Amino acid sequence: MDTRTGLPIVGMVGGGQLARMTQQAAIALGQSLHVLATSMDESAALVTPNVTLGAHTDLDALTAFADGCDVLTFDHEHVPTEHLRALVERGVVVRPGPEALLHAQDKLVMRHKLASLGLPVPPFAAVSEVDDVVKFGDEHGWPCVLKAARGGYDGRGVWMLNGPESARELVPRLLEWGTPLLVEERVAMRRELAAVVARSPFGQGGCWPVVETVQSNGICVEVLAPAPGLDAGRAEDAQALALRIAAELGVVGVLAVELFETAAGFVVNELAMRPHNSGHWTIEGAETSQFEQHLRAVLDYPLGATEPRAPAVVMANVLGAPQPPAMSTDERLHHLLARYRDAHVHYYGKQERPGRKIGHVTLLGLRMADVRARAKLAAHWLSHAEWLDGYDIHTGTSTGINTGERT
Ligand code: ADP
């Protein structure tokens, strides 16, 4: 308890951009997030006075940090499950708890659990030797998808295997390194969607509109809210699916359910039990942001309204440039703010590296096609990104940024 304010203290393990944006929401609720970070120049450590330095893999550091907090939550899912269980045994309030979080930590555990609940997942198998993969591919068809069960993010830890030869080349090496693996069918999908919901210990649930997530090289580059052309019935099915998963697994906080849309319906790809990239649009685009909602949920406060604030909202990620850019970030931002007065820019205070998520831009409007074109242009401009997907920021004079470089 914070004796000055009389409010409980939330501790977040991990000091990345999710903790940074949670701190922004915490301020309005009278909170100051306590953050366990690994260095003082991490995204969230830069913006909160209550930083503890320590590794999320070190039980002593976790315990000392948790003892100063009323509730412990996370900006990533990499805390070892046995440490979380030890904290619970000690009496720490861990939200989401380890038995729920396990399903966001381990893709194989998650696939088994959802399949046992009769929920739609791709056909999959555990891998303990290369023949497991060859057998699976021969039965279900090549190419198939090999995944690290733990530790992957942004597509690292996902490999497309074209046939038995590529399996024989890759799988033994990964097994030798001790990577726990699963193999699954390559889903013939129309597109990727996400249903983001929140659940409180009281059992209250809330869901935002289902979004479309657009990926490039395994990284989410755009989020369109609501998912264009998704009829109301199917959107409700996706929301109900996500709320059911939240309830069945006992999730507390935000749950993002990444979905593949196929001709036959939805298939669950991945679960995240924390604020998620597919929910960044809610900061300006919804009545309650995912960051505030996560705090409300872990504090067991009533959840906030989730209605969108505009018919079309688009979030586009700003990625680090491939080589040292000719024009400074400062100058680019200056041009952007002059040209796009309604753009909501978020930088994470991160050093730029090629392809790294360093920020995002959100735009709201009436027509998805227009909003999307502008958001993409804005984010590509800040990403110094003529290099992305052949997209040329200089096209479209009505929406383009006048750089003075070309006319
Ligand atoms: P990560 O945890 O690293 O984000 P994901 O499991 O979400 O990895 O996979 C990353 C991307 O790879 C997905 O967004 C999707 O584009 C593609 N992918 C993953 N699994 C499959 C699959 N079974 N079939 C087709 N594409 C897949």
Residue 267 CA, closest ligand 1 atom number? 23
Supply the residue whose CA is at minimum distance from atom 15 of ligand 1. Answer: 218
Q: What average pLDDT does range 352-368 have in this prediction?
A: 94
Pocket test for ligand 1, best of 269, 277, 357 (most atoms within 8 A of CB): 269
Supply the residue whose CA is at minimum distance from atom 2 of ligand 1. Answer: 153
Which part of the chain is CATH 3.30.1490.20?
A: 123-185
Which part of the chain is CATH 3.30.470.20?
A: 191-398
pLDDT at 405 over 50: no
**CA of residue 302 to ligand 1 center, whole Å:** 34
Q: What average pLDDT does range 112-117 have in this prediction?
A: 98
**CA of residue 122 to ligand 1 center, whole Å:** 11
Residue 220 CA, closest ligand 1 atom number? 14
**CA of residue 266 to ligand 1 center, whole Å:** 14
Supply the residue whose CA is at minimum distance from atom 5 of ligand 1. Answer: 155
Q: Among 172-176, 279-283, 400-404, which range has the highest average pLDDT?
A: 279-283
**CA of residue 91 to ligand 1 center, whole Å:** 36
Q: How far is CA 168 from CA 128, 146, 175, in A?
A: 13, 12, 11
Supply the residue whose CA is at minimum distance from atom 14 of ligand 1. Answer: 218
Average pLDDT across the chain, whole number:
92
pLDDT for 219 equals: 85
**CA of residue 395 to ligand 1 center, whole Å:** 32
Which part of the chain is CATH 3.40.50.20?
A: 9-94
Q: What average pLDDT does range 270-278 have in this prediction?
A: 98
Ligand 1 site residues, Cβ closer than 6 angstroms: 122, 145, 147, 152-158, 184, 186-187, 192, 215, 218, 258, 269-270
pTM of the shown model: 0.93
Pocket test for ligand 1, best of 158, 266, 267, 268 (most atoms within 8 A of CB): 158
pLDDT at 392 over 80: no
pLDDT at 388 over 60: no
What does the pLDDT look like over 286-309, one tens digit per residue? 999 999 999 999 999 999 999 999
Residue 157 CA, closest ligand 1 atom number? 3
pLDDT for 209 equals: 98
Between 136-140, 241-245, 265-269, 390-394, the lowest mean confidence (pLDDT) is in 390-394
**CA of residue 283 to ligand 1 center, whole Å:** 26
**CA of residue 124 to ligand 1 center, whole Å:** 13
pLDDT at 324 over 90: no
Which CATH number does the domain 9-94 belong to among 3.40.50.720, 3.40.50.20, 3.30.2290.10, 1.10.3720.10?
A: 3.40.50.20
Supply the residue whose CA is at minimum distance from atom 9 of ligand 1. Answer: 155
Residue 184 CA, closest ligand 1 atom number? 23
Q: How is domain 123-185 classified at the CATH fold level?
A: Dna Ligase; domain 1 (3.30.1490)
What does the pLDDT look like over 120-170, one tens digit per residue? 999 999 999 999 999 999 999 999 999 999 976 666 789 999 999 999 999
Supply the residue whose CA is at minimum distance from atom 8 of ligand 1. Answer: 155
What does the pLDDT look like over 22-65, one tens digit per residue? 999 999 999 989 999 999 999 999 999 999 999 999 999 999 99
Please tell me the distance from the alpha carbon of residue 370 to that of residue 275, in angstroms, as a whole number: 27
| Superfamily holding 191-398 | ATP-grasp fold, B domain (3.30.470.20)
3-state SS, the chain, equals CECCCCECCEEEECCCHHHHHHHHHHHHCCCCCEEEECCCCCCCCCCCCCEEECCCCCHHHHHHHHHCCCEEEECCCCCCHHHHHHHHHCCCCECCCHHHHHHHHCHHHHHHHHHHCCCCCCCEEEECCHHHHHHHHHHHCCCEEEEECCCCECCECEEEECCHHHHHHHHHHHHHCCCCEEEEECCCCCEEEEEEEEECCCCCEEECCCEEEEEECCEEEEEEECCCCCCHHHHHHHHHHHHHHHHHHCCCEEEEEEEEEECCEEEEEEEECCCCHHHCCHHHHECCCHHHHHHHHHCCCCCCCCCECCCEEEEEEEECCCCCCCCCHHHHHHHHHHHCCCCEEEECCCCCCCCCEEEEEEEEECCHHHHHHHHHHHHHHHCCCCCCCCCCCCCCCCCCCCCCCCC
pLDDT at 396 over 80: no
